[in-house]
Copies of this chain bind each other. A is one copy, B any other.
Amino acid sequence: MTNKMPALLKKNGARGITLDSAPRPSCGRSEVLIRIQKTGICGTDLHIYAWDEWAQSRVHPPFIVGHEFVGVIEAVGEGVDGFAPGEQVSGEGHIGCGHCYFCRTGQGHICRKVEIIGVDRDGCFAQFMSLPQSNVWKVRPGIPPEVAAIFDPLGNAMHTVMAQPVAGKTLAIVGAGAIGLMACKIARAAGALRVLVVEPQAQKRAMAVEFGAEDAYDPAQTGWFEEFAKKTSDGVGADVVLEISGSLAGIRNAFEMVRPGGEVALLGIPSNPVTLNLSEAIIFKGVTVRGINGRLMYESWYQCERFLMEHKLDLSPLITHQMPYQRYEEAFDLLQRGQAVKIILDWE
């Protein structure tokens, strides 16, 4: 038996990701060693591949990339209880320090010392990965493995939608990529009366409607805002707006679209500072804005499981491609050219 395994590595400070052999990780006393089955590729992975400004300022090669996965437990450390080899698991990629105010009050996702797999430490684009037992999540029978592989972004979408009540509300979503589309479906299942989407790409707009949006607007089209406003109660705007694009225009639109007294959840991460007329955008309107980071540990995970188990969320149309990990270059290329929504790499 070898101690080596295949892995997708960010080897150094340059564009690209490399398929190479890496040491198989050990399994610490409180850790679970997972044999990876399937992984999802996320926008963060694209940034790391592209080695853009954000990546250069944030990550330190060499390391194994990836944070969306499903796998099977290969081994457990001596101090682990409640998990056994053979169980199918996914896991939370934010690893908190466990000792601080945030970690001890259920807010580990904003721990000041949080480490993210595939960013701050080795990730899941490999045959094996070790994870602290506190971060391991058992997959319930009946949840398809390719869906279990994307609990991480699904949890982002869930956290964003559930950050405020949406039942009986008119809800707008800015940006219909994978997470925006998930949010669309979650919001409908969570009782939003009407979901209105803004998205520049025609194909994603079509998908948003398929995922339950009443309408999807092209922000490049003159008059879209008036069309949108007409679809809200008394034309005053949406009760809740979810900003998932991270684009400057998207963020400005979000604050235009929300009604007085409404709520905005910000998940999309703008790469540059944003200039806002705060008086009009937030203050005079009495708007509430929430920054959303990661997933609630572990409320968001339970919510994902329950929504899926009750068959409210069919996410399969999102997964436009599945391919073996060896074809990762093709996968990254498809995503970079906007020709895929979510791609799953198979490791078995």
Contact = CB atoms under 8 A, between A and B. Distances in A.
Contact of A165 (B165, B273, B291, B306): B165
B79 A306 contact: no
Interface string A53-89: 0000000000000000000000000110010000000
A44 to B, nearest CB: 13
B283 A278 contact: no
Given A162-B167, A251-B278, A283 B302 contact: no
**Secondary structure type dominating chain A contacts:** loop
Contact of A283 (B99, B267, B288): B267
A227 B186 CA distance: 28
Nearest to A193: B310
A168 to B, nearest CB: 5
Interface in A297-320: 297-299, 302-303, 306-307, 310, 312
Interface stretch (A8-16, A105-113, A122-130, A172-180): A105-113
A184 to B, nearest CB: 14
A189 interface: yes
A57 B288 CA distance: 26
A338 interface: no
Interface in A190-215: 190-191, 193-194
Contact of A286 (B98, B101, B104, B292): B292
A287 B236 CA distance: 26
A112 B235 CA distance: 11
A54 to B, nearest CB: 9
A292 B298 contact: no
A278 B298 contact: no
Interface residues on chain A, size class: 35 or more
Of the candidates A233, A267, A288, A289, the one having the most CB atoms from chain B within 10 angstroms of its own CB is: A289
The oligomer's copy count stands at: 4
Interface string A257-274: 000110000110111011
Nearest to A283: B291
Given A299-B105, A307-B193, A285 B110 contact: yes
28 contacts: A79-B79, A102-B260, A104-B302, A105-B302, A106-B106, A110-B260, A112-B236, A162-B168, A165-B167, A166-B191, A168-B189, A168-B306, A194-B310, A270-B278, A271-B279, A274-B275, A274-B276, A275-B275, A276-B276, A278-B291, A283-B292, A286-B291, A286-B292, A287-B290, A288-B288, A288-B291, A289-B290, A289-B291
10 residue pairs, one from A and one from B, having the closest CB atoms = A106-B106, A191-B191, A167-B190, A282-B291, A190-B191, A110-B260, A283-B291, A289-B289, A193-B310, A104-B298
Interface of A: 29-30, 78-79, 82, 98-102, 104-107, 109-110, 112, 162, 165-168, 189-191, 193-194, 233-234, 236, 251, 260-261, 266-267, 269-271, 273-279, 281-293, 296-299, 302-303, 306-307, 310, 312
Given A110-B260, A269-B284, 18 more contacts: A79-B79, A82-B99, A101-B233, A101-B236, A101-B302, A105-B299, A162-B167, A167-B167, A168-B189, A194-B310, A251-B278, A266-B283, A274-B278, A282-B289, A283-B292, A286-B290, A289-B289, A289-B291
